[in-house]
Structure 1
Amino acid sequence: MSEDAVQLKKNQILAMPEETAKVVERAAREIVKSKRAKRFFDDAYAFNYSKLELDRRPFLNIGPGSFRHPYWRTADKKYDGQAWTEARRGVQQAPVDYYWDAYSGERIAEREKFFSVVYTSHVIEHLFPQDVSFLFSEAKRVLKEGGIIRVVCPDAGLMARAYQDEDWMYFLHYLNVKTSRLSKSVQSLSAIELRRISAQFLIDWVSLAIHPDNPKRLTIAECPAFLDRYDDIYEALDAACALSDRETNKTAGAHVNWFTFEKLEAILMKAGFTDICRSGYLQSRVPILRDGTHFDRTDPEMSLFVEARA
């Protein structure tokens, strides 16, 4: 979405009193709805947890982005002295509670069984397999017995199905509507272009295989043939992941992994979690995690939601 297009639309709305009134009306309703939701979830904390429990802030968000909440603690890695979102988006943030990098192999600076809930959204796809295992072992360590972890990440099953079914609209919606990375209309693209763009998206979404700084790179034109080389789409994804360079990703912070429910379930089970189940957008078994103002906000239509018990 270009800034020129946004400014043009603003000018058009402001020039039409009836349209301006409609926009103001919608905004007012959203503000009222948001305040009502805040009161509801403030009550949800008070209803489900004692004041003593809330005062110690027993909830942890790993990889919080811009998330901040008075009852929550946050853990994030530093890039050149800045938290991830500060370095990535150039926005200043309040400090996090734990500067922690799963790549380091060092433990979170907190005692065992401290937290009641751990939440991590769109983090594990940035980690190599050993780092994912370490993150979950740390989450298990700091969660009290019976505590819940909620994990959100891209759903590789959806992407694989879309590519195999030649559902190119799945990829183009993200590129055209959500991010404006692709300005061409769908109908203007040839069959070859559609496949190439979608193959590029899929490989880029799970690996550094086309990243300009990665030592081993595929060209965009090579992406479809690379995927077609394998009988199993997930073997192709593993092969793309294997091209990703660990040192490069320490600064790039890109995607280097993929997850289906079955793969994530096995990793969580190995870390010692039980009662592992597929969830859905704002469908947590933990009431406070159903607050859409703070949770499950990133690409929900493309995401996998999983919960487990420590």
Structure 2
Amino acid sequence: MKSLLIGIAKRVVNNFGFDVVRIRDNFNISQYKFLFTKDELERKPFYNIGAGSFYHPYWTNIDYVSEWYGDLQKNVIHHDLMSKSPLPIGKNKAEIIYTSHVIEHIKEDAVQVLFDEAYRCLKEGGVFRVTAPDAENNFRALINNDENWFYWNRNYAAKGSYESIYHRPANSVPLSERWLHTLASQLAPNDISPSKIKLSDKEIWKAIDKFGFPDVLNYLCGLCHFQNDRPGNHISWWTREKLFKFLTNAGFKNVYQSGFGQSHSPLMRNSKLFDSTHSQVSIYVEAVR
């Protein structure tokens, strides 16, 4: 009945030459205004590290500005996490710090500095949310020969879709090489990144047999280095246990596993803006200052 009355009202108004449009608050502005004062919101105390194309009027975007990302980045403050320099945020000034699918692109020592900085910058009770590819599940998918797990490779199969990253369609090479690309991109033979070391299917399995999990991940990522012109490469690996260790080392006492859309902060439960990158293969961890 309600929808019927709304439809009738809409037609009546339209007869007078007006369009009725439902305005959706995709930014959850009302929720921000309920939780924070106007002065607090004007300071934009919510920080997205590695923001890419993310935009929210109350958030501050920090990212590594590079031609690699083209015109994707929006309103970002440039910061090189590999420099291991302080984040451009004052001490105890941040309400929330969010970083999604960023830490796998930098080396472990730089990740520890990032986590240390997050602890420094957050206010008491502030939330730090981290998402990254789940290295354990990715490895299990390889062992189980689960080709479907690596579903994103299909996005780089057609001509014109893969040439900036791969020599050949992403799904045209052995599964071990596709797995390697998610872990240590520059070592994958199909990746066009320059590297003195490229490991074949046979060599990958030999390394797995020799080192086992997770030591093989340390071995392979240890062969990688950060390439300034290809910041999108993966060069480090992460599991829940490893994230807990690094966050605890940074000083966080309250560290816990989260899930898709399950943030402690209601502001980060908006899946239109958060947790939208490869949720199937991601781990979600939070820490409260």
Kindly provide the amino acid, as one letter, of the partner of residue 209 in structure 2. D
What secondary structure does 1:250 align onto? coil
Deviation of 1:213 (Å)? 0.8
Partners of 1:197 and 1:238 lie apart in 2 by 22
Conservation of the 8 A alpha-carbon contact between 1:196 and 1:223: no
Deviation of 1:221 (Å)? 4.9
Partners of 2:69 and 2:176 lie apart in 1 by 27
1:120-159 to 2 correspondences below 5 Å? 120-159=99-138
What secondary structure does 1:38 align onto? coil
1:22-37 to 2 correspondences below 5 Å? 35-37=23-25
Aligned to 1:214: 195
Question: Residue deviations 1:62-99, cap 9 Å, x none?
Answer: 000011211011111133xxxxxxx2342265431x31
Partners of 1:160 and 1:220 lie apart in 2 by 15
Question: 1:38 and 2:15 equivalent?
Answer: no
Question: 1:200 and 2:180 equivalent?
Answer: no
Partners of 1:284 and 1:55 lie apart in 2 by 23
Conservation of the 8 A alpha-carbon contact between 1:215 and 1:245: no
Aligned to 1:293: 272
Aligned to 1:63: 50
- Decide which structure has greater helix share: 1
1:1-310 to 2 correspondences below 5 Å? 35-38=23-26, 41-79=28-66, 87-91=67-71, 93-96=73-76, 98-171=77-150, 173-176=151-154, 179-181=155-157, 197-207=174-184, 208-210=186-188, 211=191, 212-230=193-211, 232-246=212-226, 249-253=227-231, 254-310=233-289
Conservation of the 8 A alpha-carbon contact between 1:214 and 1:245: no
Unaligned runs of 5+ residues in structure 2 are 1-20, 160-170
123-132 vs 270-279, which moves further: 270-279
Question: Residue deviations 1:20-77, cap 9 Å, x none?
Answer: xxxxxxxxxxx95xx43527x1111112222221121110000000112110111111
Deviation of 1:202 (Å)? 1.8
Question: Residue deviations 1:146-165, cap 9 Å, x none?
Answer: 21000011011211221223
**Percent identity (aligned):** 32
Conservation of the 8 A alpha-carbon contact between 2:53 and 2:72: no
Partners of 2:263 and 2:275 lie apart in 1 by 10
Partners of 1:180 and 1:217 lie apart in 2 by 20
Conservation of the 8 A alpha-carbon contact between 2:261 and 2:275: yes
Kindly provide the amino acid, as one letter, of the partner of residue 226 in structure 1. A
Q: Once superposed, what is the RMSD of the aligned Cα atoms? A: 2.3
Partners of 2:88 and 2:127 lie apart in 1 by 20
Question: Residue deviations 1:94-137, cap 9 Å, x none?
Answer: 431x3111111221233201100000001000010110001111
Query: Under a length normalisation based on structure 1, what TM-score does the superposition of the two structures give?
Result: 0.75
Kindly provide the amino acid, as one letter, of the partner of residue 153 in structure 2. L
Kindly provide the amino acid, as one letter, of the partner of residue 204 in structure 2. C
Aligned to 1:83: none
Kindly provide the amino acid, as one letter, of the partner of residue 245 in structure 2. A
Partners of 1:268 and 1:239 lie apart in 2 by 23
Partners of 1:241 and 1:53 lie apart in 2 by 41
Number of matched pairs = 253
Partners of 2:234 and 2:129 lie apart in 1 by 20
Kindly provide the amino acid, as one letter, of the partner of residue 303 in structure 1. S
Query: Under a length normalisation based on structure 2, what TM-score does the superposition of the two structures give?
Result: 0.81
Deviation of 1:307 (Å)? 0.5
